[in-house]
Structure 1
């Protein structure tokens, strides 16, 4: 006779709990393995035999089978075949069936556990919809529609999503690379966790277009509590974002973040290098041209240069024909040094001196520095505000843009902006896994 006593420390096997059916109001009654899936036979635990119209007790009439895609067991698609009993009231003739709302939404094709598994796979594990659909054994549209609906209900439409936001970043983003339609959107990022050292930035919202009106309308749609709580807005050099912020949240400090300021100087350096290259050689940079070979080294901070890189720049600047590039490179390095200074007040003084120097006395031949100086002079208050408001860089915004690029690539592109916004919010909205599945808490 076989001893069925479980080993010490183990309880008797409960297949209903193992298959995560106990929280769905179901009980496991059997199972069947098919070549491409596992089928679990279930019954509804609560009999539910009382008439919903008159309250009389009904008599069992027949049963129907409801099939639900469930959380895969070992990546094997799992299907629940739920036996649902139907009753008929002898007094009023009303017919009803057992309540399965604990197991799934009405007319849903996924169980609640399967739906949470799918949402967890998208949000936490960053799986593609195709991979989730394969794991559930359902069509792509079925998985996608279910995930978006549950994501909007549980996460995106969460009324507390905009609470505690004090620092926001705004930037443009290319959501598709096609010639048809507007390919730009405006992304709004919550930078409060970055400033407070409490975590990474998160995507707050995404709106169609890249204009003052797009950002202004989004701010106007927020309630007074949100607008009053915003203290700092980090942005690039686009004046439309600044004007929108000044009109809708006038008490907030606008900051032109270091990422975009340094990029302005870097772009000026690149344009100067290309102009000098063309003037000297009459063509764009070739592989062995000194200016072209040094293009990446020129963008490296002076304090991070290796001995080989330093030697390459010294050899480059020995040639008097490269003096304009050297002058522009010097301005670029002064800007980096100002931002990297350990004393923020001294860094601010250096940046202020740099803006003053670029505003007057620049030789006309240095057209790139002249343009840079005009931009910095116009936005001087926003540039210098960073040194009094640390942690307001839009660098995390660019990092989120890279994650969205990966999302678009794994999905092989998006055609529907509404779906793209929803998937982006799920991907980079900073949602805690505990909200998606209780067992992760």
Structure 2
């Protein structure tokens, strides 16, 4: 039994003399061999630092067969040979779990990086349990670190190499990050899903992805019963990319150079990428007339109309349009692209046609991959706070805890 008194800013802990101590061999000892004073580091008292002085005793074991002849008293908060208190370590671990870097927390509390990280790892491992199977699963990839250029010693050519992580997100529950797999290949996704087991996979009903063929093939192999939904944001991004390609090509062919600020198609490049409903009547009229007067081929306006037709088709999900309206808008979009005879629009139409079952699944269900994209942002933020990761296991632990809603509840 111990008691303490405070002499600002120092707390002295003294053990009463009548207390009995039990050695490792189980024999009670009352013989005090010597007294020691330790100075474990503790949490600060508000803005002021707090010094702890523990005047503890070392007992001598009277059992001759005991391997330890002497032992020093200890507590759960301050184990033997500890230089910091348990509550200081727990506070440092919670601060890292809140999103701060290990180095910053170590500087604030005067602790070393290995000590703070070890307690944070124990804190995180206690929270990160095996995820429950979601009804709706989101899959996307993020780049790990910066791309590197490696020179081939044989050919002398430089090749760009990048490391990616495939992320699996629960879109039907808390939106937490379920796990990560190395690479952005179909094999990586299949291996991660197969590791979960058949019972886990059977609970997944819908999978939302970007228009990536490798993930679609992986889902059909590992989750043949699941419905695949393609994210509509990326489909609109493909239409904007096709529109930009048409604008740049027409400018080079018509003017023999890149676009300039004096060119109407260049001045309206941002307006072309905006939705029609977000343009005022005056802005839309000015953009339309400028392109009619200064772009003789009409290909830029044709590409803009194709983009708007695709957006009108995808808007059926929000409008809950019947199947007849969906079919009509699909035919109108594909016919417009085919009749335009513009290579970029033909490629866009072929892409939409190849992904039509997944696009129709989005229109009928309204499920998107937006929460997965939000998780990707949190993954990147965690890497920036930590100034990058060298250890893949540490990165996945830190990232998953940052992307799990349990962090806010347990670290508050």
TM-score, L = length of structure 1:
0.78
Q: Structure 1 residues 233, 110: closer, same or farther in 2, change over 3 A?
A: farther
Match of 1:367 among 334, 339, 343: 343
Hey, what's the Cα distance between the residues in 1 that align with 2:297 and 2:47? 61
Question: Are the equivalent residues in 2 in contact too, given 1:41–1:80 (CA < 8 A)?
Answer: yes
**Cα separation, partners in 2 of 1:44 and 1:281, compared to 1, 3 Å:** farther
Alignment check: 8 A CA contact 1:78 1:136 kept: no
What secondary structure does 1:189 align onto? strand
**What does residue 126 of structure 2 align with?**
154
1:134-149, aligned counterparts within 5 Å?
A: 134-149=107-122
Match of 2:58 in 1: 86
Aligned residue for 1:220?
194
Deviation string 1:338-389 (CA, Å, 9 cap, x unpaired) is 3334764417655544544555661474111111111111111111101232
1:185 corresponds in structure 2 to 165
Q: 1:242 to 1:68 in 2, by over 3 A?
A: farther
Runs of 5+ in structure 1 lacking a partner?
1-24, 34-38, 194-198
Specify which of 219, 223, 228 is matched with residue 245 of structure 1: 219
> Could you say which residue in structure 1 is the equivalent of 2:386?
411
Q: Give the Cα separation in 1 of the matches to 2:81 and 2:261.
A: 63
Q: Distance in 1 between matches of 2:146 and 2:2?
A: 48
Query: C-alpha offsets along residues 188-222 of structure 1, whole Å, 9 cap, x if unaligned?
Result: 111113xxxxx6x3222222111001111110111
In the alignment, does 2:203 pair up with 1:232?
no
Q: Aligned pair 1:309/2:283, yes or no?
A: yes
Contact 1:190 1:203 in 2 (8 A): yes
> Hey, what does 1:196 align to over in structure 2?
none
Partner of 2:216, secondary structure, is helix
Q: Which runs of 4+ in 1 moved over 6 A?
A: 105-108
Q: CA deviation at 1:43?
A: 5.7
Check conservation: 2:302, 2:340, Cα contact below 8 A: no
Moved more, 210-219 or 114-123: 114-123
Report if the CA contact (8 A) 2:133-2:201 is conserved.
no
Partners of 1:58 and 1:90 within 8 A in 2: no
8 Å CA contact 2:229, 2:358 repeated in 1: yes
Partner of 2:153: none
In the superposition, the TM-score normalised over structure 2's length comes to 0.83
Determine if contact 1:168/1:230 at 8 Å carries over to the other structure: yes
Alpha-carbon distance change, 240 to 31 in structure 1, aligned in 2, over 3 angstroms: farther
| Residues 334/70 of structure 1: CA separation in 2 closer, same or farther (3 Å cut) | farther
Residue by residue over 1:259-293, the C-alpha shift from the partner in whole angstroms, topping out at 9 and shown as x without a partner, is: 22222222222222222222222223323332222
**Match of 2:296, SS?**
helix
Q: 2:85 aligns with which of 111, 136, 146?
A: 111
**Aligned equivalents of 1:26 and 1:433: distance in 2?**
35
* 1:256 Cα deviation from its structure 2 partner: 0.6
Deviates more, 1:106-115 or 1:229-238: 106-115
Q: Does 1:176 align with 2:148?
A: no
SS in 2 for 1:226: helix
Find the residue that maps to 2:5 and give its secondary structure.
Answer: strand
Write out per-residue CA displacement over residues 167-197 of structure 1, whole angstroms, 9 at most, x where no aligned residue: 111111112113066421111111113xxxx
Cα distance in 2 for residues equivalent to 1:354 and 1:105: 71
Counterpart in 1 of 2:242? 268
Equivalents in 1 of 2:179, 2:101: separation in Å?
21
1:32 CA drift (Å): 5.6
* Aligned twin of 2:136: 167
Q: Which runs of 5+ in 2 are unaligned?
A: 150-160
Contact 1:358 1:369 in 2 (8 A): no
1:98 aligned partner: 73
Q: Distance in 2 between matches of 1:229 and 1:306?
A: 47
Question: Cα–Cα, structure 1 residues 145 and 307, in superposed 2: closer, same or farther, change >3 Å?
Answer: farther
CA displacement at 1:337 relative to structure 2: 2.9
SS at 2:100's partner residue? coil
Separation (CA, whole Å) in 2 of partners of 1:154 and 1:203: 16
Aligned partner of 1:59 in structure 2 is 31
**Cα distance between partner residues in 1 of 2:111 and 2:306:** 58
Q: 1:240 to 1:53 in 2, by over 3 A?
A: same
Q: Match of 1:389?
A: 365
CA distance in 2, matches of 1:123, 1:87: 40
**Selected match of 1:210 from 180, 184, 204:** 184
For 1:374 and 1:239, the matched residues in 2 are separated by 14
Structure 2 distance, partners of 1:312, 1:111, is: 70
